[in-house]
Amino acid sequence: MIPIFFIMLSLYFAKINKPYYSVFVLGMAIWDRSYPLLFLPFYILSLGVTIKKRVTLSILAIIPAITPFLLSRILLSHDVISQYQGKIFFETFFINFFLGMHWDIGYGQTVYIFVASYVILLLYYSFRLKNIDHEHIWQFSLMALLLYYATCMFHPQFFTWFTPFIALAIVNHRNFLKLHILQIFCFAIYTFYWKESLSWWLFASVNPSILLNLISPRDLIDIISGSRALMFINIFRSILSSISIFMIALILYKDKIANNA
């Protein structure tokens, strides 16, 4: 919730034309979680008219993000630092989420789907950008997250990341509410992958003796379908990806119409 709050605050500052406050607050979100780094290029390109201003904005975003790390190097003991070396921004398992879907093209060479797609989105954004508009920031930040949900493995808690962006999309684009409801339905089935921990155990405090001993939805589906629960879950995971990609297409279509108007 903390980075989501700072992201919302950064969008507010962008809307009232306070670019320096906006990127600084986004840097505070990056300090707490690394995923807002995905949004930073859209902020810099939208809010910085000149190269000099873009460099200044980049520095302002980096300062709050790296200050705790620098302070830890100064104040903490070497033993404590060594335990968290290299884990300030990108832990190994988190990097693997982004690089999970890939094409192996031979001789040890690989094309990572999310990386390639994100760069295409960023290039499209930089080439079509004609004026400063805070609307572009949340729209393309949303598309970056939708791209992540479509092509990468993600823990269910990561689904909260796009809360402020999808809320804005629902307000500004017709039919997004219906699509989001479908997303939530598919997401609920996606959580079956984690068995009891994300089903009955969430409500265990109501009646521990019963809820802690109930069979998980995934195991129940396995019994009914003959050990095909993963296939069942992955079908809805695929539908979730399709909805996310369709949302991206709708935003780009609306953006093209607005750009030609």
At 198-244, the pLDDT tens digits run 888 888 888 888 888 888 888 888 888 888 899 999 999 999 999 99
* Alpha-carbon separation of residue 241 from 54, 161, 186, 258 (angstroms): 33, 16, 9, 26
Indicate the DSSP class of residue 195.
G
In the predicted structure, residue 58 carries a pLDDT above the cut 70 = yes
The reported pLDDT for the residue numbered 85 is 44
Q: Where are the beta strands (DSSP E) in 6-142?
A: 102-106, 109-112
More confident site: 1 or 71: 1
In the predicted structure, residue 109 carries a pLDDT above the cut 70 = yes
For 190, residues 6+ apart whose C-beta sits below 8 A from its C-beta are 156, 233, 236, 237, 240
The reported pLDDT for the residue numbered 200 is 82
Tokens of 250: 């709708």
The reported pLDDT for the residue numbered 210 is 84
Indicate the pTM of the whole model: 0.84
* Alpha-carbon separation of residue 189 from 34, 193, 195 (angstroms): 27, 8, 11
The reported pLDDT for the residue numbered 77 is 53
In the predicted structure, residue 124 carries a pLDDT above the cut 80 = yes
Which amino acid, residue 175? N
For 233, residues 6+ apart whose C-beta sits below 8 A from its C-beta are 189, 190, 192, 193, 218, 221
Q: 3-class SS at 41?
A: helix
In the predicted structure, residue 119 carries a pLDDT above the cut 90 = yes
Measured distance CA(65)–CA(10) in Å, rounded: 14
Q: What is the mean pLDDT of the chain?
A: 84
In this prediction, residues 22-34 reach a mean pLDDT of 89
Q: What is the largest CA-CA distance in the chain?
A: 63
The reported pLDDT for the residue numbered 256 is 64
Identify the band that residue 72 occupies on the pLDDT scale cut at 50, 70 and 90.
low
In the predicted structure, residue 80 carries a pLDDT above the cut 90 = no
The reported pLDDT for the residue numbered 242 is 96
The reported pLDDT for the residue numbered 255 is 65
The reported pLDDT for the residue numbered 201 is 83
In the predicted structure, residue 166 carries a pLDDT above the cut 90 = yes
In this prediction, residues 51-74 reach a mean pLDDT of 81
